[in-house]
Amino acid sequence: MKRHLISAADLSRDDALLILDTADELARISDRSIKKLPTLRGRTVVNLFFEDSTRTRISFEAAAKRLSADVINFSAKGSSVSKGESLKDTALTLEAMGADAVVIRHGASGAPHRLAGWVRGSVVNAGDGTHEHPTQALLDAFTMRRRLGSLEGRRVTVVGDILHSRVARSNVLLLSTLGAEVTLVAPPTLLPVSVGSWPCEVSYDLDSVLPKSDVVMMLRVQRERMNAAFFPTEREYSRRYGLDRERFARLKEDAVVMHPGPMNRGMEIAAEVADSPRSTIVEQVANGVTTRMAVLYLLLGGADLGGEDQ
């Protein structure tokens, strides 16, 4: 594996499978009553969050702590960033504090890539602008594998605001590496211009794609990134692209419904669909911790997993 995890495209098929298999192993250990492993004792992981986040920041923190790493949480609010300090100066400060890994979320696409040029430790992209969110794609793939087995030839449909979604881009890249067939469904205004070169199909018609799907991943409409009207009204969006009860009823019997969160209940997904047993939304959160443990463990080259008796 490379030293950094910045894009899902950094992962070969073997790398991705190694992470997923390691996460499986870690999940078995996490089922024990004592969840903590001594593997990354004495290592320092810095969480550098320039954008709001609930689950991703907490998930990385829990993952690092379960591996016994020291965790430093940095959020831009209340820091010298609000005094105009540059990303480079912030990076050099972290470097001086001896960070072995820096987990970064930033509003600018490309920020983790820049950071990787300035620090000695590993950089993990926890979401950069509208670019990528590779650990979300890994936890999604992990969740799909647990429900469906191998992803080879499975049909995954990703629906909604693809234009602003780093989750969609990372998922398309990782899922195609793992042999799944991805179809993106969105109104034309919510698809990036470059989508033609992505390794996936595109459709504007949710109802024609749903009956063939093994996985339906609903995305949030990211209003905070919208500076114009991308669709007529919320009702109209919901009617054409929302996963409501009627559409849910037409899914294959063993199909699963996913959402990376945070959800707009009633908009892209009906509350009862989100809460159904075929939805993996809560599992995705739990699996996020195990998957991120696997990533940190493999990037930081922790001690052997097998020998740790609890």
Answer positive or negative: Cα dihedral of 243, 220, 296, 128. positive
Catalytic annotation, pick one of 133, 145, 169, 247: 133
Burial 190-210 (b: 16+ CB within 10 A, else e): bbbeebeebebeeeeebeebb
Residue nearest to ligand NCD (CB): 220
Q: What is the CA radius of gyration of the chain?
A: 19
In terms of CB distance, is 127 or 187 closer to ligand NCD? Answer: 127
Site for ligand NCD in 98-127 (CB under 6 A): 127
Examine the residue annotation and report whether 65 is marked as an active-site residue of this protein: no
Any known ligand binding at 56? yes
The one-letter amino acid at 149: G
d(CA 102, CA 252): 41
Q: Least CB distance from residue 147 to ligand NCD, whole Å?
A: 18
Cis peptide before 232 (omega within 30 of 0): no
The only residue of 204, 222, 298, 303 in contact with ligand NCD, by rule CB under 6 A: 222
The only residue of 35, 36, 55, 240 in contact with ligand NCD, by rule CB under 6 A: 55
In terms of CB distance, is 112 or 260 closer to ligand NCD? Answer: 260
Query: Which parts of the chain are beta strand (E)?
Result: 44-49, 70-75, 101-106, 122-128, 155-159, 181-185, 201-203, 215-218, 256-258
Site for ligand NCD in 247-286 (CB under 6 A): 260-261
Q: Least CB distance from residue 51 to ligand NCD, whole Å?
A: 8
Q: Least CB distance from residue 76 to ligand NCD, whole Å?
A: 15
Q: Provide the 10 A C-beta neighbour count for residue 180.
A: 23
Any known ligand binding at 136? yes
Any known ligand binding at 166? yes
Q: Least CB distance from residue 220 to ligand NCD, whole Å?
A: 4
| Contacting residues for 89 by C-beta, under 8 A, at least 6 apart | none
Lay out the site mask for ligand NCD across 14-53 (x = CB under 6 A, - = otherwise).
----------------------------------------
Catalytic annotation, pick one of 56, 130, 157, 183: 56
Q: Is 167 a residue that touches ligand NCD (CB under 6 A)?
A: yes
Any known ligand binding at 261? yes
Q: Is 160 a residue that touches ligand NCD (CB under 6 A)?
A: no
Q: Least CB distance from residue 237 to ligand NCD, whole Å?
A: 15
Contact call for residues 190 and 154 (beta carbons, < 8 A): no
Examine the residue annotation and report whether 245 is marked as an active-site residue of this protein: no
Q: Is 133 a residue that touches ligand NCD (CB under 6 A)?
A: yes
Examine the residue annotation and report whether 147 is marked as an active-site residue of this protein: no
Burial class (CB in 10 A: 0-12, 13-18, 19+), 255: buried
Contact call for residues 105 and 53 (beta carbons, < 8 A): yes
Catalytic annotation, pick one of 66, 105, 164, 292: 105
Nearest by Cα to 128 from 83, 189, 187, 87: 87
CA torsion, ordered 178, 183, 184, 185, to nearest 10 deg: -150
Catalytic annotation, pick one of 55, 65, 252, 278: 55
Answer positive or negative: Cα dihedral of 7, 10, 14, 19. negative
Binding positions are 55-56, 83, 105, 133, 136, 166, 220, 261-262
Active site residues: 55-56, 83, 105, 133
Q: Could you list the residues that contact ligand NCD (CB under 6 A)?
A: 55-56, 127, 133, 136, 166-167, 220, 222, 260-261
